[in-house]
Amino acid sequence: MELRQLECFCAVSSLENFTKAAQLLHISQPSVTKTVRSLESELNLELFDRRQKHVCLTEAGQVFLIHAKKIMQDVQAAHVSMERFRVPKSGAIKLGVPPMIESYLFPNFFVKFTAANPEIFLELQEFGDSNAIREKLDGGELDFGIIFLNPEEHSEKFFTLLEDEFYLCLPTTHRLAGEKQISFDELREEKFILQPGGTFQNFVTIERAAEAGFSPKVLLTTSQFKTIKDLVANGAAISLLPKFAIEKSAKFEAVPINPPIKFAVSLAGSKFRELSPLCLHFFKFVKALFHDAT
C-alpha cells in the first residue's frame, strides 16, 4: 500500500468524481483510476460503487476511509514534527562577546563558520562583561553569548570552548620578574590595572586580593587590552590576563599565580527558550569545531 494510492482514494471519496480528483491532484484521470484500481486489487475489495453518475463509497470503502484519513493525518503530523530538524539555509545569529574573546578567539571561528555557512549572517555584539551578556540572553535579545565561568559551573545551556587560567603580567624589571609562581600575598603594595567592574578579571582580582587580606590599589580600569599590555610593559602597573591572550612576543613577564585562577570560556544560550533549527545548527557546528580542536 502506497501513500499515492491513499491520496487518490481520499480525493475521489471527497469529490465523488474521478475527473475532478485528477484535476485536484494535477494528474491524468486514467492515472487516478488505475491507482484506485490497484488499491482495490491489493485489498481484494471494491471501495467505490461506480454504477451511478457520482461515484460513492461502498460499505467497505466507508470503513477504509476512516483508516486512510488517519494515515494521511499522521503523515502530515510527521512532516510538521520533522520540520524543526530542517536547518534553514539562511538567517541571522545574534552572538554576544566580551572584548577579549572578539580579539583573540572569534576571528578564527568566524572565518570557518562563514566559509561553511555563507548564507548565515553572524551579528556580533560586544559587551563589557559576562553578566551583561547573560541578561541579554535571558531577555531574548541574543541567541548566544560567549562568557567567562568558573570551571565548576555547569549547565546544559553551556558548552565549554576552552579552559584557561590567568597569569600575572608585570614589567621585565619588576622585583618579581623571573619567579616561577607568585601569590597574591606578595602583591599588597602593587598598583593594578583592571578591566571595568562586572568583568570576570575584575571580580577574581578583587576576590583573590580580599582572600589575601587587602584591597588592590587600582591605577586604571579599561577594557582595552592593548592599553593594559602597553602600561604593564612600560612599568606603570601590573595586571591579570588570560594565558590565551598573552603573545609569545610580549614585552612583559607573565607568571603563573599560586594557587591558580582558572576559568572556562563557554558558549551560552538562553535558559528560557528552546533552540530554533538555525540556532541548533550553530550550536552543533561550534561543538564540533572546538571538540576537534581539543
Measured distance CA(47)–CA(54) in Å, rounded = 14
Measured distance CA(109)–CA(112) in Å, rounded = 5
Helices (H), 118-276: 130-138, 200-211, 225-233
State if pTM tops 0.75.
no
Q: Cis peptide before 151, with omega less than 30 degrees from 0? A: no
Q: Quote the Cα angle for 285-288-294, to 5°.
A: 140
Whether 113 contacts 183, CB under 8 Å:
no
Helices (H), 56-163: 59-83, 99-104, 106-116, 130-138
223, 232, 170, 167: which is closest to 195 by C-alpha? 223
CA distances from 267 to 110, 145, 234, 288 (A): 14, 6, 35, 13
Amino acid at 202: N
- Can you give the C-alpha Rg of the chain in angstroms? 33
What does the pLDDT profile of the chain (294 residues) look like in tens digits? Answer: 888 998 988 988 888 888 888 888 889 999 989 999 999 999 999 999 888 778 899 999 899 999 999 998 888 888 777 766 666 667 889 999 887 776 777 778 888 888 888 888 888 888 878 888 988 988 889 999 998 887 776 656 678 888 899 999 999 999 999 999 999 999 999 999 999 888 889 999 999 999 999 999 999 999 888 899 999 999 999 999 999 888 877 899 999 999 999 998 889 887 767 778 888 888 888 888 877 654
CA distances from 124 to 86, 101, 241, 277, 290 (A): 24, 11, 23, 19, 19
Residue 266, classed as helix, strand or coil, is strand
